[in-house]
Homo-oligomer: A and B are copies of this chain.
Amino acid sequence: LGQTVGIAVVGLGYWGPNLLRNFAETPGARVVAGCDARAELLERQRARYPAIRFVSRYEELLTDPEVDAIALATPAATHEAMAEAALRAGKHVLVEKPIATSSAGARRLIEAARVVSRVLMVGHTFEYNPAVLRLREVVQGASFGRPVYAYTTRVNLGQIRDDVNAMWNLAPHDISILLFLFGEPPVAVSANGKAFVRPQQEDVVFVYLEFPSGAVAHVHVSWLDPSKVRRVTVVGERQMAVYDDLDAEAKLRIYDKGVDQQVIPHEGGLYDYALRLRAGDIVCPQIPWKEPLLLECAHFVECVSRGERPRTDGENGLRVTRVLEAAQESLRAQGRRVSV
C-alpha cells in the first residue's frame, strides 16, 4: 500500500464522480478522499463509496498526508488558485480543462509545479481517446498528404455554465485536439460569437485558426443547439478523415480522394469549366476501445509514481490557454485577427 498513490477528488458535481469511478479502477491508485461544499453531493457519493472519506473543506486535504495527489473538477475560475494551493502543499495535481483562465495563470502553475517538483497535468481527455490517437496516426501518415484544413463542431443543448462562456467551457477540447493533430500551435486566431442567455457570456462561438504550416481550422461551439454533435473533420491533400464521437459503429472514417479533371475547353471565359473531385473508398478502422478517462487517470498515476512528465503537462495546458486567450481578445474586437 505504501506504493499506491493516494488520490483526492475535488468537485463532485458533473465531472468529479467520473474521476472518482475511474481512479477507483486505476491500478496503483487509491481514492482516499472526496471534497465538495455541497452536503447533498457528499452524501450521494458516500452512499456509493463507503470506504472513502468525504469532506467539505478543501484545506483538510492539503494537510492530509494520505493525499498524494489532487484531482480538480471544480469550475474553471477556481483552477488556478486551487491548483496552486495544492502544489504548494506538495501535492501532485490533475486539473480539469482549461488549466487556468489566463496564460499568466497557467504559467504560474507551471512554475509552482517546477519549484516543488510535482506532477502538473491538465485533463485534456481527448488526447487519451483511442479514436483521436488513431486519427493522429492517420493525419500524420504518409498516405494522408499534408493536412490542409480541419473543422470541429461541439454543440448541444445542455448545461449553461455561469463561470465561463461556451468557448472556455467547450473549446479547450477542440483546441487540444487540433494542436495534437497538427503538432503545432496556431499563429493567429479570429473569433466571433454572441451572448443570448446571460449578458457578456457568449453561448455560441466560432473560432478560426491559422497554423504556421499554412493549414487552417475552425471551431464551432454552442450550448444552444437542438442536436448534440461532437465531430472533427480533417482534410488532407490526398485523404480526409472524420472523427464522430457519437457514431457507435464507425467513430473514425477515412476517405480517399479522387480527382477527375474534366477537360472541357474553356472558350473565352464564358462557359463553365470544372475540376471535379470525388470521394474514393471509405475505411472505418476498428479501434479497440478503452474509456479515455481511465487511460488519462492511469497515465497520471504512472507519471506520479515514476516522476515523469505527463503528455498533457502544464506547457500543453498553457498552449491551449494562450489560444483561448487570443480568441477571447478577438471576440471582444469583433473578429479582428489576433496573433497567438
Q: Are A264 and B337 in contact (CB under 8 A)?
A: no
Asked if A28 CB lies within 8 Å of chain B CBs, one says no
Is A312 part of the contact surface with B, judged by Cβ < 8 Å?
no
Chain A positions 190 through 215: 1 when the CB is less than 8 Å from some CB of chain B, otherwise 0: 10111011000001101010000000
Contacting B at CB under 8 A, from A255-312, are: 255-258, 264-286
Is A24 at the interface (CB under 8 A from chain B)?
Answer: yes
Asked whether A208 lies within 8 Å of B282 as measured between CB atoms, the reply is: no
Q: Of A59-67, A110-118, A154-162, which binds chain B?
A: A154-162
Q: CA A311 – CA B278 in complex, angstroms?
A: 31
Taking a contact as CB atoms under 8 Å apart, the answer to whether A218 and B206 are in contact is: yes
A281, B278: Cβ atoms closer than 8 Å: no
- 26 A-B contact pairs sorted by A residue (CB < 8 Å): A14-B272, A36-B271, A37-B270, A38-B265, A58-B270, A158-B276, A159-B277, A160-B276, A160-B277, A161-B273, A162-B275, A192-B208, A192-B216, A194-B216, A197-B275, A204-B216, A206-B208, A220-B220, A225-B233, A225-B240, A226-B240, A226-B242, A227-B249, A228-B248, A281-B283, A335-B337
Are A149 and B276 closer than 8 Å at their CB atoms? Answer: no
Indicate the member of A74, A77, A227 with the most B CB atoms within 10 Å.
A227
Asked if A270 and B74 sit within 8 Å, CB to CB, the answer is yes
